[in-house]
Structure 1
Amino acid sequence: MAQPFSLPDFYVPYPARLNPHVEAARTHTRQWARGMGMLEGSGIWEEKDLEAHDYALLCAYTHPDCSAEALSLVTDWYVWVFFFDDHFLELFKRTPDREGAKRYLDRLPAFMPMERGAATPEPENPVEAGLADLWTRTVPAMSDAWRARFAESTENLLNESMWELSNINEGRIANPVEYIEMRRKVGGAPWSAGLVEYAAGA
């Protein structure tokens, strides 16, 4: 379909590059998501859904230079956060169950302990299982300051869902000023930046 406008040639000093480990990341994250209980039987995704989303391709373009191991881990994080969004939608936004949602969200910080080697609760669902696994695999390579920042940005992403649910329950539409303020806090940029630090070894 023809576009009703013409685009100029853009100056692109850094053309897109693809991480050569993209196929390995696809294979790994499929196995990981299944192992965490996110695919068949979850009531949320099936393998075909994960394949269609292709988070490995997204991460291979955003992290073109990292190792195969780092790319797989970053991809798992993106799979986890998008699965959380769909999981929360099905369990609480469609109901809407505000009390259940609060109990669900209140448990998640326990899977991101600040002390190295600290025990975590037994996971009760794929979101908890995924977070526990990812935190254990990620934090040994990072500083205490990074761990605190990344935990905070992750909690902000999760808690934004409660704000949305409250608006749904009240039949309320956020005004533009409030929406922009919330998006700056929970839009995912600080969270993604934390993963850039990990992938770059910064």
Structure 2
Amino acid sequence: MYSIILPKRLYCPFPSRINSHVLAADAHTVQWIRKFGLLHTEQQIQQYRKEGYAYMVARMFPNADRETLCAYSDLNTLLFLVDDFLDQQDAMVSGGHDSASVEQFSRHFVAILENPSIAHHSKEPVFAALADLWERLIRLGTPEWLEKYKKSLWRIFHAALWQHKNIEAGRWPSVEDYMARRQYIGAANVATDCVEMIDRITLPADAWEHPVLTELTELCRNTVCWANDLFSLSKEREKGEYHNLVTILAHEKNTSLNKAISRTIAIHDHQVRRFIRLTATLPSFNEAVDMEIVRYVEGLKAIMRANIDWSNHETSRYHFQYADLAPVPANAPYTV
């Protein structure tokens, strides 16, 4: 696999932080994977550890207590495993991965959120694991948050179904359509929704719905996704996957991959700067609510920074290099 060479580092001037319970979360999630048989061999488990999902969560939520961090580490790992299933044939769930199978899988997944007991004796490890996890989250979250979170999980399956139907039809999405849906394809909406529960943030509805907070949340989700499209580009091109902003830009604009990479970096950096400008215009309600808003924005910053730090330092999932660190081979096909 060739590494993509990124011509510059992504702009994200927020502090790097990591939760002190990261090793406990990693060990816990490995045991949870073994308990439910989500991976079948020791080699697969060791590969999971190299991909470092617990570290991603620990960077996203540096202030989470141990129990909550372990729960979200399990959830994040489960979502990555589900994402891999939705992308390709996988032994985790029996059956295929065409749009009909994705829709059936999605309905079963969401049904368990309504009634976890239906999956306790499921032959499918992912559903039994989900039931266990959801019962733990019920103890951690409020009823209002749980309802919001179920809707967020449903949106990621709608996006996955849209992507599979595109592939089956041989249809390329427009840049505009892809950019509107990407936050759900990548489950970035799930991450930002967890800030409320994990950091114990309490805001009234009119604060959550304020245009500034709404846009800040969207910018956080999108910049994480544009960064991920850059970091995962090599892996996705090797598999022939084209639902990636770089690839779609190159296709729609009839431009080189190099120029599309640079354009994607520019989009990311522009939106991070927009996020920073918006933080100077936060709405004001009263002292208590205003403090909660600041904590929420800090949580969004942590997610944006975590994605970059984890991709740079702690996961083997992606293959990319920066131009200032790597010599560019003359015959490398995906270099800038």
State the TM-score, normalizing by the size of structure 1: 0.82
When residues 168 and 143 of structure 1 are mapped into structure 2, their CA distance, relative to the original with a 3 A threshold, is same
**What residue in structure 1 maps to residue 27 of structure 2?**
27
Give the alignment's Cα RMSD to 1 decimal: 2.9
Matches within 5 A, 1:1-202: 12=13, 15-40=15-40, 46-88=44-86, 89-91=88-90, 97-113=98-114, 119-121=117-119, 122-202=121-201
> How far is 1:144 from its partner?
1.8
Deviations 1:102-133 (A, max 9, x none): 2222211111118xxx7434434222122211
Does the 8 Å contact 1:113/1:120 carry over to 2?
no
When residues 11 and 152 of structure 1 are mapped into structure 2, their CA distance, relative to the original with a 3 A threshold, is closer
Deviations 1:141-189 (A, max 9, x none): 3222211110010111123221111111111111112112212454423
| Structure-1 separation of matches of 2:99 and 2:178 | 20
When residues 21 and 176 of structure 1 are mapped into structure 2, their CA distance, relative to the original with a 3 A threshold, is same
Does the 8 Å contact 2:53/2:77 carry over to 1?
yes
Does the 8 Å contact 2:68/2:140 carry over to 1?
no
Deviations 1:74-102 (A, max 9, x none): 1111101000011232159xx65333332
Deviations 1:46-69 (A, max 9, x none): 112211110111111111111111
Answer with 1 or 2: which has the greater Rg: 2
> Structure 1: 5+ residue runs without aligned partners?
none
Does the 8 Å contact 1:153/1:186 carry over to 2?
no
Does the 8 Å contact 1:96/1:169 carry over to 2?
no
**What residue in structure 1 maps to residue 309 of structure 2?**
none
- Across the two proteins, how many residue pairs are aligned to each other? 191
Does the 8 Å contact 1:112/1:132 carry over to 2?
yes
State the TM-score, normalizing by the size of structure 2: 0.51
| Structure-2 separation of matches of 1:126 and 1:98 | 21
**Structure 1 residue ranges (4+ consecutive) displaced by more than 6 angstroms after TM superposition:** 3-7
| Structure-1 separation of matches of 2:12 and 2:154 | 37
When residues 19 and 159 of structure 1 are mapped into structure 2, their CA distance, relative to the original with a 3 A threshold, is same
Structure 1, 46-55 or 188-197: larger mean CA deviation: 188-197
Higher RCO by CA contacts (8 Å cutoff, separation 6 or greater):
2
